[in-house]
A and B are shown apart, each in its own frame.
Chain A
């Protein structure tokens, strides 16, 4: 049973470009969470989604960031007009239900030049 998959593992963007991060949850998991880990900081919750629904986006910056989890396909975290401060590791986690343990993917390391 494959774990949580994220791609790309590394992403380099110039300021002003768009970044798209993809997450495929574990088989049988319909709950997806995105976290951000800034350099030398802990993981911070960004958004929680179920299929086709955003449940909690209280950790998402108000501008430039959006997330979706369509009926078919992976969850996408989209960052528009990236700035240097967006450079971080972005982790996706999935769970079977809202009250179950979360399993993390390997992360996408975004570098903004």
Chain B
């Protein structure tokens, strides 16, 4: 069974600070996706990383896929209250994208 552990589980920081969220597994994934989920809504796709070592930037968010494709990180620069939400990583197996394994989630709160 593939497992994705996210850390920290909860994070509360002041507006303007930087933060990093980690997503780790002992399994290799063919791709990894990051989602953000608001209360009462479905996950919204932020980014997909495919190649080991790949780095993608989305405004103040930087996503990195580990060289061995077993882990990923999300770094947010100068956090804003609008960044508050539940961040989920999800991995697709080597056998295709049909079954996503979701991480345990990081609940982020940015304090104005």
**Interface, chain A (partner B; CB < 8 A):** 4, 6, 31, 33, 35, 42-45, 48, 55-56, 58-59, 91, 93, 95, 98-107, 109
Contact B88 A42 (CB under 8 A): yes
- Which one of B45, B96, B98 has the highest number of Cβ atoms from chain A below 10 Å of its Cβ? B98
Contact A101 B99 (CB under 8 A): no
**B97 part of interface (Cβ distance < 8 Å):** yes
Contact A45 B41 (CB under 8 A): no
Nearest B residue to A106 via CB reads B42
Q: How many A-B residue pairs have CB under 8 A?
A: 62
Contact B42 A98 (CB under 8 A): no
List chain B residues, Cβ under 8 A from A101: 33, 45, 48, 97
**Binary interface encoding of chain B residues 48-78 relative to chain A, with 1 for a CB under 8 A from any of its CBs, else 0:** 1000000000000000000000000000000
**Interface, chain B (partner A; CB < 8 A):** 33, 35, 40-45, 48, 88, 90, 96-105
- Which one of B41, B44, B48 has the highest number of Cβ atoms from chain A below 10 Å of its Cβ? B41
CB distance from B103 to the nearest CB of A (A): 6
List chain A residues, Cβ under 8 A from B102: 35, 42-44
> Which one of B33, B43, B98 lies within 8 Å of A91 (CB-CB)?
B43
Contact A103 B97 (CB under 8 A): no
The docked-state distance in angstroms from the alpha carbon of A102 to that of B92 is: 11
Contact A104 B99 (CB under 8 A): no
> Which one of A4, A42, A98, A105 lies within 8 Å of B98 (CB-CB)?
A98
List chain A residues, Cβ under 8 A from B41: 106-107
